[in-house]
Chain A
Amino acid sequence: MTYRWGCAVLVMLCLGVPLRAQEEAPEEEEPSLKPKLEFAFEAKAHYRDSDLNRFAVPFRFDPIMLPRDQSQGFEETVNAGSHLEISTVTLLVDATWGDGLAAHGKIDFIDLYDRNPTSSDGKTDVDEAWVRFGIEPAPATLAPRGGAYLKIGKMPKLERQDDRHLESYGLVSAAFNRFEDTGAELGLNLGRHVYVKATATQGNPVFLRDPNALAGDNGTPAMRQPFPDPELKSGIVILYDAEVEDLDVDGDLELGGGVGVRFADEGGVNGVDFLAWGYRRNLAETVELEGTFYGGDLDLLNGPGNATPFPALRGDEKREAGANVWVYFGGLSFFGQFVDQEIAGLPRTGLEAEVAWRFELPLWLSIGDRQLFTFVAPAARYSELDNDFRNHPNTPAPSLAWDWKKLDAGLRVGIIPGADLTVEYADHEFILGNGAKRDNNEFLTTFRWRV
């Protein structure tokens, strides 16, 4: 049984326990062997309109590797045009035994937008499956007291933005910490304000994907056929830390850590949190990823057949350091992140900042004893990715070395508790190797429903 299916079975076992009604009055939490279980379903439906852009690549593909009547390879917008699609149906399971022990599972079905990394990847994915001993305060909230926690399993990275106000991702999130890793995280609350975290994980494989909604198809089995013409196209890609899919205990661990300080009110509404963090690991020669025959890590950086390595590529060390800021004040929230990364001698930095303001709406209408139109939350996010390295002159993916800027702006409207609509536009700009600027913009509307 694979790791993926092992996690799935664990979570499905939890489903055997009767459902608890969402609106049932929560009971006093007392330590007990019987867990308190919560289940949730989330589904996302979208209207997406992606601008069509294509850029010729210098790599000399054998004509049999290109669509018929095409002598040139391109990086091309993934599935351009207007589309209605359902991106995910997600099952979430939480079990808690008092404050000191918690387990969490998250399984995506369909998994269109989080596909890792291509459309031929599995359509069912265990995004998270972890157990935690001890209390882990949310960002910008106070720890109830000093103490420690240990979290083991597949989990979000410690620096990931956990409270997002747009459906799209910024360039920094997409490149560095959008996807989960597997391992252990130890947290120490040194009093209520200061905290330290340390991680030992597998490390996310370095791969490539389009940073817009759809990842694009690279190295899919269909491309082994003569004259392939994949429907989704390659995308205009960046290097990113792909999701860990299989348990690999043989490779080098990625070691990471962070130190932070937070101040907040007792109600957990207003607060500020600052976290400095870093990671280090040795890249693998190759990492197999389901859905692509391209290898991750050094295999990817060396190009097809090791023929187009990045000129500055050296060694196998991957390291990154960064800083996060969270601010919550009333309905205002701000998240900022800076990352400085070096992948085997390839340096790059990323900067991302998101501001949102949630306005609670007065009670005008209701449906089924619930308020209709509960809040509006305008949000804007700026992100940039500066790749301070050059690409191989014959690369099949020149965009990997371009500099990128992205401005996302949108509005989220709460329709009823548990359902909301997000309308957003991504103004996506990159600077080509010759200095020319191009766009790859996208309009995205997301209806999200949680039960």
Chain B
Amino acid sequence: MRRLVPVLMLLLALPAAAEELRGRLQLVGKGGKGPAGGSDVRQALVWFEPAAPKPASPSTFVMTTRGKQFEPRTLTIPVGSRVRFPNEDVILHNVFSVSGENSFDLGLYRRGKGKEQKFDRPGLVRVFCNVHHSMVGYILVLQSPYVATPDAEGRFVLTGLPRGPGRLTVWHEQAEPAGMDVQVPRAEPLAPRLEIVRPRIPPHLNKTGKAYSTRDNYNQR
């Protein structure tokens, strides 16, 4: 028995058996009719949340304003992480979000290392620029480290998963997210479908809750 104790301790020190979930995501047009045109499946995210949560360690990430776009357009971060928003453009930007408890407003700032924001609540944070209506970014604040991005064919692999039940979520900026309960391991590959229902630049208001001023108008006040 004494000999078994070190062996058991060694086994406990090793990582649990790492499992995979494989699948292929398909984007379809409105009403599920045919493949969605113009929407990039590589912009989707797939993540697995085990029934027994395993939070990842917070860290600092970067989302850059460059060429009047956010780069990367989509960012996944663990809860409690910070995101820095450097401005690499030679013009002013004002990064903000009105997404619930993760709302923030960094104000106008010029080219430089930018400002940071901490995200303490899980969920989707829609990020916009108060100056440029077409600038859209997404930060997914997750409580799980198991995230994958599909390839150009929609194929994805989630690796290092613990055995047992959990919930798989598939997300794309132009679709309603889809969730399903999954038992790991799973022999059958997953085949989720997302229906593209939103434009690439979603309808949104500026940080004061008013429409962006794209009209040539001084008379409607």
Answer yes or no: are A and B bound together in one complex. yes
CB–CB A370/B203 < 8 A:
no
Q: How far is the CA of A25 from the CA of B104 in the complex (A)?
A: 13
Q: Determine whether A163 belongs to the interface, using a CB cutoff of 8 Å to chain B.
A: yes
State which residues 85-141 of B face A: CB under 8 Å.
89-92, 94, 105, 107-108, 110-111, 133-134
- Pick from B68, B212, B221: contact of A268, CB under 8 Å: B212
Chain A residue with the shortest CB-CB distance to B209: A29
Known: A25-B108, A371-B91. A138 touches B205 (CB 8 A): no
State which residues 175-221 of B face A: CB under 8 Å.
202-205, 207-208, 210-212, 214-221
Distance between A33 CB and nearest chain B CB, rounded to angstroms: 19
Q: How far is the CA of A266 from the CA of B214 in the complex (A)?
A: 15
Q: Determine whether A16 belongs to the interface, using a CB cutoff of 8 Å to chain B.
A: no
- Residue numbers in A under 8 Å from B203 (CB-CB): 265-270
| Most chain A CB inside 10 Å of its own CB: which residue of B92, B202, B207 | B92
- Residue numbers in B under 8 Å from A366 (CB-CB): 89-91
- Pick from B107, B216, B218: contact of A25, CB under 8 Å: B107
Q: How far is the CA of A139 from the CA of B217 in the complex (A)?
A: 11
Distance between B104 CB and nearest chain A CB, rounded to angstroms: 12
- Pick from A26, A128, A358: contact of B219, CB under 8 Å: A128
Q: How far is the CA of A275 from the CA of B73 in the complex (A)?
A: 40
Q: Determine whether B67 belongs to the interface, using a CB cutoff of 8 Å to chain A.
A: yes
Distance between A355 CB and nearest chain B CB, rounded to angstroms: 14
CB–CB A138/B110 < 8 A:
no
- Pick from B110, B212, B215: contact of A267, CB under 8 Å: B212
Distance between A150 CB and nearest chain B CB, rounded to angstroms: 15
Known: A358-B214, A362-B67. A370 touches B219 (CB 8 A): no
Known: A28-B208, A267-B211. A363 touches B90 (CB 8 A): yes
**Interface size in chain B (residues, C-beta < 8 A):** 31
CB–CB A92/B110 < 8 A:
no
- Residue numbers in A under 8 Å from B219 (CB-CB): 128, 156, 160, 162
Q: Determine whether A360 belongs to the interface, using a CB cutoff of 8 Å to chain B.
A: yes
- Pick from B105, B208, B216: contact of A165, CB under 8 Å: B216
**Chain A at the B interface: mostly helix, strand, loop or mixed?**
loop
Q: Determine whether A44 belongs to the interface, using a CB cutoff of 8 Å to chain B.
A: no
| Most chain A CB inside 10 Å of its own CB: which residue of B202, B207, B216 | B216
State which residues 2-49 of A face B: CB under 8 Å.
23, 25-26, 28-29, 40, 42
Known: A25-B108, A267-B204. A363 touches B211 (CB 8 A): no
Q: How far is the CA of A40 from the CA of B221 in the complex (A)?
A: 13
- Residue numbers in A under 8 Å from B202 (CB-CB): 267
Q: How far is the CA of A175 from the CA of B134 in the complex (A)?
A: 38
Known: A163-B215, A268-B205, A270-B203. A102 touches B221 (CB 8 A): yes
- Residue numbers in A under 8 Å from B211 (CB-CB): 138, 141, 267-269
Q: How far is the CA of A164 from the CA of B221 in the complex (A)?
A: 16
Q: Determine whether A241 belongs to the interface, using a CB cutoff of 8 Å to chain B.
A: no
Q: Determine whether A281 belongs to the interface, using a CB cutoff of 8 Å to chain B.
A: no
| Most chain B CB inside 10 Å of its own CB: which residue of A26, A162, A267, A362 | A267
- Pick from A102, A162, A266: contact of B205, CB under 8 Å: A266
- Residue numbers in B under 8 Å from A29 (CB-CB): 208
CB–CB B133/A269 < 8 A:
yes
- Residue numbers in B under 8 Å from A104 (CB-CB): 221
CB–CB A23/B204 < 8 A:
no
Q: Determine whether A369 belongs to the interface, using a CB cutoff of 8 Å to chain B.
A: yes
- Residue numbers in B under 8 Å from A96 (CB-CB): 221
Q: Determine whether A136 belongs to the interface, using a CB cutoff of 8 Å to chain B.
A: yes
Q: Determine whether A115 belongs to the interface, using a CB cutoff of 8 Å to chain B.
A: no
CB–CB A362/B91 < 8 A:
no
CB–CB B67/A269 < 8 A:
no
Chain A residue with the shortest CB-CB distance to B96: A25
CB–CB B92/A23 < 8 A:
yes
Chain A residue with the shortest CB-CB distance to B219: A162
Q: Determine whether A299 belongs to the interface, using a CB cutoff of 8 Å to chain B.
A: no
Q: How far is the CA of A202 from the CA of B168 in the complex (A)?
A: 67
Distance between A179 CB and nearest chain B CB, rounded to angstroms: 12
- Residue numbers in A under 8 Å from B212 (CB-CB): 267-269
Chain B residue with the shortest CB-CB distance to A371: B91
Q: How far is the CA of A138 from the CA of B210 in the complex (A)?
A: 11
Q: Determine whether A197 belongs to the interface, using a CB cutoff of 8 Å to chain B.
A: no
Q: How far is the CA of A81 from the CA of B2 in the complex (A)?
A: 109
Q: Determine whether A106 belongs to the interface, using a CB cutoff of 8 Å to chain B.
A: yes
CB–CB A26/B208 < 8 A:
yes
- Residue numbers in A under 8 Å from B89 (CB-CB): 363, 366
Chain A residue with the shortest CB-CB distance to B131: A417
- Residue numbers in B under 8 Å from A40 (CB-CB): 218
CB–CB B220/A138 < 8 A:
yes
| Most chain A CB inside 10 Å of its own CB: which residue of B134, B204, B214 | B214
CB–CB B218/A363 < 8 A:
no
CB–CB B91/A370 < 8 A:
yes
Q: How far is the CA of A386 from the CA of B209 in the complex (A)?
A: 44
Distance between B62 CB and nearest chain A CB, rounded to angstroms: 20
Q: Determine whether A210 belongs to the interface, using a CB cutoff of 8 Å to chain B.
A: no
Q: A interface vs B, CB < 8 Å?
A: 23, 25-26, 28-29, 40, 42, 92, 94, 96, 102, 104, 106, 128, 132, 136, 138-139, 141, 156, 160, 162-165, 265-270, 333, 358, 360, 362-363, 366, 369-371
Interface CB pairs A-B, < 8 A, 9: A25-B108, A94-B221, A132-B221, A266-B204, A267-B205, A362-B67, A363-B67, A363-B89, A366-B89
Nearest 9 pairs of A and B residues by beta carbon? A268-B211, A267-B203, A265-B203, A366-B90, A138-B220, A163-B215, A162-B219, A163-B217, A266-B203
13 more A-B contacts (CB under 8 A) besides A28-B208, A96-B221, A162-B219? A26-B207, A29-B208, A128-B219, A136-B220, A138-B215, A141-B211, A162-B217, A162-B220, A267-B133, A267-B211, A270-B203, A363-B67, A369-B110
